[in-house]
Each structure stands twice: as C-alpha cells, then as structure tokens.
C-alpha cells in the first residue's frame, strides 16, 4: 500500500468519525430526537402519505434555484412507523410521478432515511408516486402530509387536495396528520358548511422563527403565517434555534395531529396511531 493510499484511508476514516460525532451532537441538541412509543396492532388499516412534486427552491418570479423537495425523514419516519404496526401504506403526490428529495448531508439523515434509500420497493413508490386525482381519500384511515421546502410551492395551492381532504373529513373517520410544511395542505379544506376546516383548531407547523434562522423566507407560503390566516390556534415550542425545537399538537376533536418540524415524525405518527387504535 503506497503512502497516498494510506493517507486517503486515514482521511476517510477521520471524515466518517467526525460525521458520526456530529450526528450524535446534533441529536443531543434536539435534531431527530429518539422516541420510545408503544407499538400497535393496526393490521387492515390503510395510510396515505402525500408529498410534494416541486424540486426547485426558486425565488418569486424565478424558475431556477437550488434543488429541494421532500425532507425525506418527514415521510420515511411515519412510513416505517405505520408499517411496523401492520398498516398498509401508499405514497402519493399532487401530480404523481417522481417526488424530489431535499439534499441533506449524511450526518443529518435519520436511520429511517438510510433504511428507505436501501429499500427498493419504497424508493420505487417514491419515484412513481400515485397522483391524488386517482385516489379516493375516503378509503384511508390515516392521511398524512409530509413536508420539505418543496411543499411550500404546491400543497397549499392545490384546490384538488383541499377538496379531497374535505371529502375525507366529511365522509369518513380518517385521522389527518402533517409535519413541517406539510400542514399547508390543509389550508383549503372546508367543512360541510363551506367554512375552513382548520379554523379554530389547535395546530402547529414550522415556525417563522425557524425559517428566518435558516435564511429561507422567499418561499411562496410559510406554515405559521398561513395557518394563522386560516384561523388556526397556532402552538409551537422554541429553542435557541427552532431547528432543534419539537412539538406535536392534537386538536380537541382528535382528527388532526400536527408536528412542528422534522423532529416530530415519530411522535406525530404515534399520536395518530393511538387515536386509530382507540376508535
């Protein structure tokens, strides 16, 4: 083994070591916290997870920008939590087809992310997602909206998504969940009287503070702002940086379970399944 190869191996080992240390340190600060929840036997139940088709972090009036899309942990975590409880899971998007992924460094990925990327069936479902126009939402026990920056460009602007959620709420007993930017998909839904479905409900989503701290405030919709406009009683936790904050909120009717950001995947999924198990 020559000296160059030895140096490269040593550098590689150092990089891997630093990545592992950084991952644990971020976890210690609050990113992707561990969650120990009870398992459920929900065999026969069905969950629909909806994500974005938008893959460009563009500014107003522009079409180009950094690549973005789904923040994978906001789908992968509930995906496997649901499956562990025997729930049949389908993945959908606004238009169908490929769901782009937000590029994240290795040390930010969750164990569920790593599992998902190695899961050929799961990745195929992500790359060939079903369009919401081809799905009857009333056939599902759980409807879950995943986030990521891409969701700020399509979920809250989809009249069809609003109509489908409205129909499921009014004609079924489905439980609705969402995390981070995913909650934008609820803002167009209405009840049988034509009133905004989420008005007056306790809910959460990514905070304006977190967006400002990350320096990404040019997206067309911000969850905290849009939820408040829709009449939501907005609740959230905070930290020295809201990226490390975590909160899950269940509304009084126990039909909507929302998570503040990428840290809330496990708890939000758990609270949803707890409600389904008690029905």
pLDDT digits (tens, 9 = 90+) for 164-203: 999 999 999 999 999 999 999 999 999 999 999 999 999 9
Record the pTM. 0.93
Q: What is the mean pLDDT of residues 248-271?
A: 98
Label residue 119 exposed, middle or buried (CB < 10 Å: 0-12, 13-18, 19+): middle
* 9: pLDDT strictly greater than 90: no
pLDDT band of residue 107 (cuts 50, 70, 90) is confident
* Structural domains for the chain: 31-278 (3.40.50.880)
Reported as a single tens digit per residue, the pLDDT across 41-59 is 999 999 999 999 999 999 9
């Amino acid at each position: 083994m020559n000296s160059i190869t030895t140096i490269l191996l040593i550098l590689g080992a150092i990089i891997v070591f630093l990545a592992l240390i950084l991952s644990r340190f971020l976890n210690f600060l609050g990113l992707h916290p561990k969650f120990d929840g009870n398992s459920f036997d929900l065999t026969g139940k069905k969950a629909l997870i909806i994500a974005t088709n938008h893959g460009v972090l563009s500014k107003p009036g522009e079409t180009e920008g950094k690549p973005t899309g789904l923040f994978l942990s906001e789908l992968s975590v509930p995906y496997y939590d649901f499956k562990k409880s025997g729930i049949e899971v389908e993945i959908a998007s606004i238009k169908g087809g490929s769901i782009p992924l937000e590029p994240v460094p290795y040390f930010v990925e969750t164990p569920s992310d790593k599992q998902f990327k190695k899961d050929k069936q799961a990745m195929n479902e992500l790359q060939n997602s079903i369009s919401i126009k081809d799905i009857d939402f009333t056939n599902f026990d759980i409807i879950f909206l995943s986030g990521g920056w891409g969701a700020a460009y399509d979920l809250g602007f989809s009249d069809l998504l609003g109509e489908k959620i409205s129909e499921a709420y009014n004609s079924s007993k489905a439980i609705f969940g969402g995390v981070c930017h995913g909650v934008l998909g609820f803002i167009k839904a209405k009840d049988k009287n034509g009133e905004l479905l989420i008005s007056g409900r306790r809910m959460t989503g990514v905070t304006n503070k977190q967006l400002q701290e990350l320096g990404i405030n040019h997206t067309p919709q911000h969850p905290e702002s849009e939820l408040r406009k829709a009449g939501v009683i907005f609740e959230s936790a905070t930290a020295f940086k809201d990226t490390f904050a975590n909160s899950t909120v269940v509304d009084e009717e126990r039909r909507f379970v929302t998570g503040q950001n990428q840290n809330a995947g496990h708890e939000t999924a758990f609270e949803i399944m707890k409600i389904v198990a008690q029905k």
